[in-house]
Structure 1
Amino acid sequence: MKILLNGETLAFEGRTVADLIAQTAPEKPFAVAVNTEFVAKTTYGYRELQEGDAVDIVRPVVGG
Structure 2
Amino acid sequence: MQVHINHQPHELPDGATLADAIARLEARPPYAAAVNLRFVPRERHAEHRLEAGDRIEVIAPISGG
Do these two structures clear the TM 0.5 threshold for a shared fold by scoring above it?
yes
- Within 1, Cα distance between the matches of 2:58 and 2:18? 10
Aligned length in residues: 64
Runs of 5+ consecutive residues of structure 1 not aligned to the other structure: none
Using the TM superposition, give the Cα deviation of residue 63 of structure 1 relative to its aligned residue in structure 2, in angstroms: 2.6
Runs of 5+ consecutive residues of structure 2 not aligned to the other structure: none
Q: Deviations over 1:16-51 (max 9, x none)?
A: 111222232112211100000001001011111000
Moved >3 Å (runs of 4+): none
Compute the TM-score of the two structures, normalised by the length of structure 2: 0.86
Compute the TM-score of the two structures, normalised by the length of structure 1: 0.87
- Within 2, Cα distance between the matches of 1:11 and 1:34? 16
SS in 2 for 1:62: coil
Query: How big is the alpha-carbon RMSD for the aligned residues of Structure 1 and Structure 2?
Result: 1.4
Paired amino acid for 2:42: K
